[in-house]
Structure 1
Amino acid sequence: MRIVSGMRPTGKLHLGHYLGVLKNWVKLQNENDCFFFVADWHALSTSYEDKLNLKKLTKELVKDWIAAGIDPEKSVLFVQSDIKEHAELYVLLNMITPLGWLERNPTYKDQLQQLEGKDIHTAGFLTYPVLQTSDIILYDAQAVPIGEDQRPHIEIAREIVRRFHHLFECEVFTEPKELLSPTPRLQGLDGRKMSKSYNNAIYLTDTKEEIWSKLRTAKTDPQRVKRTDPGDPEVCLVYDYHKEFSDEEMVQKVAEGCKTAAIGCVDCKKMCLESIERVLEPIRERREKLDEEYIDSVIENGNKKAKIVASKKMEAVNRAVFEIKCNIEN
């Protein structure tokens, strides 16, 4: 299948990004035709006031992707703003998208509440799903890997495609489907959502020492006041980390040790550290070998491949809109 997905360059990636997105991308690229893009225009929809160095952050993001296992020989890696057809299609789709569709979008309402401290009452933020639709249908994506909370955006994309086809009597686009993927929600070290803004994240670039400094402060079962007190692993944040990063034998050992007080919280955290380190150490090592010249070449090559697909699609779109002419091949 043709798979399209993107990520905003707003800062360093953490374990939540790795589990929720990157691991899935690595699997998908082995069996599908994947286009992964740096969504720098999308970053501006909520962070336009943050004065982000998007060029630098873009390169760092691509470096993280490759270090985590995304292969530029298997997947097309490109930058959204370098392919101007995204903006061209975005403008055209905005002309036909009913305002009510966007205002009723539950994700829009949720984000307004979650980002209450930011001024995001902008046209760009409201029409975020239209730009997202452009990103997807420009490449004839058959499926988009998403979490459950993103389903409304894919439904809007399908509705926009159907409306375009109806208005211009020309089937130009592939109607995308959601590819619901397991996206474990890894809590931050304080029990809240893992986030840079909460200062509770373990980053892919953290050293073993930095990870331990953070992990030793992680919340555990509050009922285990003494080392000899038995605990409940299911209410322990560190046990959740074990379930994601440790093997089955270690997970069982930790659970039993917690329930019987055979191991203490510090010992449990040290074991968890080793499990996390087994995943992050090779990522850090691969990342160190990636120089800026190589990253630039990956982006340049990916942009060229994306441009070929995007420009061909926009030729068909413009024929449908301005010449009222449908190209059967598209």
Structure 2
Amino acid sequence: MTKPIILTGDRTTGPLHIGHYAGSLANRLACQDSHEQFLLLADTQALTDNAHDPEKVRRSVTEVALDYLAVGIDPTRTTICLQSHLPALAELSMLYLNFVTVSRLERNPTVKDEIRARGFGRDIPAGFLCYPAAQAADITAFKATVVPVGEDQAPLIEQTNEIVRRVNATANQQILPEAVAVIPKTGRLPGIDGKAKMSKSGGNAIPLSASPDEISAAVKAMFTDPNHLRIEDPGRIEGNVVFTYLDAFDRDKTAVEALKEHYQQGGLGDGVVKKRLDDILQALLGPIRTRRTQLSKDPGYVLDTIKQGTERARERTDATKREVVEHLGLFRL
């Protein structure tokens, strides 16, 4: 039987952190055998709000690839490819922009929220505004039918499917499949400071490559319940980052529920809970850090992995682009 095709990836703006592991990397590991998986190093997309610093984007390509390999992504089972070296993606993006309006792009909830968060006002980079069409190109070029995204990204998949339906209607046949957005069970983790978004640039994330001391320092600094001043005081678990992380990473769910109950009743100090989380994160990130260090000593292997994956992806995406151009009836030489 043909495996379902899954497309996922990350913007190359810096090394990945534990939020990426909980929200996407763990699921990618689980999908390596059940799906035909393509993992996109999204350097072109990273430029949409980092065009002032292309060196950071370039440098981060190998950093993100190292993180992929260190967590256990197997390049023989998952194709790791570089977005900027797949010309069909740019060509399909240009085609798809004729099937969507500026007003529809501006109404996309994900785009609106990101524009507001970045304070662009009306000075929106055109590449940023047009990202939904570019993502539609990424997804359809691989003919992906499964796209894991955060809940806040689901409107982008909806818009991809709108473009797919318009292209298919214009061609009068089903050239491209629609995709299903798969929302991970673990939502976006908050930053260690309790802010809603963990980010590489915000200084509130734990990198996958964090040292033991860095992990411990981050856990000690985590936001808990500011009103839990004494051990005997009842504590709140809502908004308590330590418990949010335990929910995401502690496999002993029964023990976590018991800790929550004890904490809410009073008599359980923050230090005890943080010690448990520290132990769990050390056990999770230690092997990843070791593999990453070993892989970083062989940059040729990492580069060859990206090159070989990109070549395989180019064959797939070029074939889709030719099919779209042909069925849309564009002039051929």
CA RMSD of aligned residues (A): 2.0
Judged with a 3 Å threshold, the aligned counterparts in structure 2 of structure 1 residues 233 and 90 are, in CA distance, closer, same or farther, namely: closer
Structure 2 regions of 5+ residues with no counterpart? none
Aligned equivalent of 2:244:
240
Judged with a 3 Å threshold, the aligned counterparts in structure 2 of structure 1 residues 175 and 229 are, in CA distance, closer, same or farther, namely: closer
- Please point out which of 195, 200, 204 is paired with 1:200: 204
SS of 1:25 mapped into structure 2? helix
- Cα distance in 2 between the residues matched to 1:164 and 1:67: 39
Question: How many aligned residue pairs are there?
Answer: 325
- Cα distance in 2 between the residues matched to 1:139 and 1:161: 13
Task: Give the 5 Å matches for 1:84-233.
Answer: 84-116=87-119, 121-192=124-195, 193-233=197-237
C-alpha deviations, 1:191-225, integer Å up to 9, x for none?
10212232111111111111111211212222221
Aligned equivalent of 1:273:
278
Asked whether the 8 Å contact 1:46–1:120 carries over to 2, the reply is no
Asked whether the 8 Å contact 1:38–1:80 carries over to 2, the reply is yes
- Cα distance in 1 between the residues matched to 2:142 and 2:54: 30
Q: Residue 55 in 1 paired to residue 62 in 2?
A: no
Aligned equivalent of 1:299:
306
Asked whether the 8 Å contact 1:112–1:120 carries over to 2, the reply is no
- Cα distance in 2 between the residues matched to 1:11 and 1:70: 18
Asked whether the 8 Å contact 1:39–1:80 carries over to 2, the reply is yes
Aligned equivalent of 1:320:
327
Aligned AA (1:271): R
Percent of matched pairs sharing the same residue: 34
C-alpha deviations, 1:255-302, integer Å up to 9, x for none?
244245444222221221001111111111111221211111111110
Aligned equivalent of 1:328:
none
Judged with a 3 Å threshold, the aligned counterparts in structure 2 of structure 1 residues 128 and 223 are, in CA distance, closer, same or farther, namely: same
Shift of 1:114: 0.6
SS of 2:230 mapped into structure 1? coil
- Cα distance in 2 between the residues matched to 1:14 and 1:64: 9
- Cα distance in 2 between the residues matched to 1:167 and 1:196: 42
Which stretch of the first structure deviates more once superposed, 169-178 or 152-161?
A: 169-178
- Cα distance in 1 between the residues matched to 2:31 and 2:279: 27
Asked whether the 8 Å contact 1:168–1:324 carries over to 2, the reply is no
Shift of 1:80: 0.5
Aligned AA (1:168): A
